[in-house]
Amino acid sequence: MKDIRKVLLIVNMHKRDVGNVVNSIESYFHKNNIETFFYGLNGKSVPPEINGFDLAFSLGGDGTVLFSARLLAPFGIPILPVNLGDFGFIAEVAKDEWKVAFEKYWGGLLGVGEHLMLDLTVIRGGEQIAEFTGLNDCVVCSSGISKIVRLHLSLADTELGEYRADGIIVSTPTGSTAYSAAAGGPILDPEMEAMIINPICPFTLSNRPIVVPGEEKVYIKIKSLQRTEVILTIDGQSAFPLFPKDCIQVKRAEKKACIIRSDKRNFYEVLRSKLHWSGGPDA
């Protein structure tokens, strides 16, 4: 048995039936002499202090998992993602499966997947002015009505050239099923070591998504004479305004998100189910 004494519950307070699920979990842990600490996500909540947790439950949807990963990855705390929403690519455990999934993990029967995360640094005038971490993706795009932005893209040793597009997505394999997929990008196994560079509606049709090794560094420079304001978004949850000549460095984070795997269904079964790969009229 794993030594689990202290569990953090990260809870999306907007989900249906959340109170009953939390009460059930807290009651179960109380009977097993395991401490629980409740943290409710409700608007712009102040992140909780991370102190000695052995495990965290993410109770919500994929957005709750993204928040949990950014918070907990630096500490190597495993996350059990319980889906209280409608979709759930990352949050694979259904709300009526949490007890079975936890007990299997507790008994050493469920493994933990390590998911690559992104470290982002905004450089302005030669100085680092902001740093972010993301599990899904970062996006550089117009901050207002959809307009083309002009960006220069390079890797550590290679110039990729200038892009005129609605924006650029740099995605992890975990995020390959999110915005990048909607923008025509490839879907990768979430535990791969790679990044996807995906232009959004590029003006030049020859610009296509590319997959680069996880150890690469990607540099996105904001060109001068933009016709719109430009922003950087991280996981669709955080935003930062950018100015002409700013440079965003994107690289693999030192720490990975530790997400407990479900044995009910694997990633490809989730894809087939969620994306309706049935071959029928709904496909």
Report the b/e string of 78-89 with b at 16+ CB within 10 A.
bbbbbbbbeebb
Residues with catalytic function: 62
Distances 108 to 28, 52, 222 between C-alpha atoms, Å:
19, 20, 48
CA 70 to CA 175: how far, in whole Å?
A: 14
**H helix or E strand, kind and range, residue 178:** none
Long-range contacts of 182-185 (CB under 8 A, 24+ apart): 183/209, 184/209, 185/209
CA 9 to CA 28: how far, in whole Å?
A: 13
The three state secondary structure string of 211-225 is EEECCCEEEEEECCC
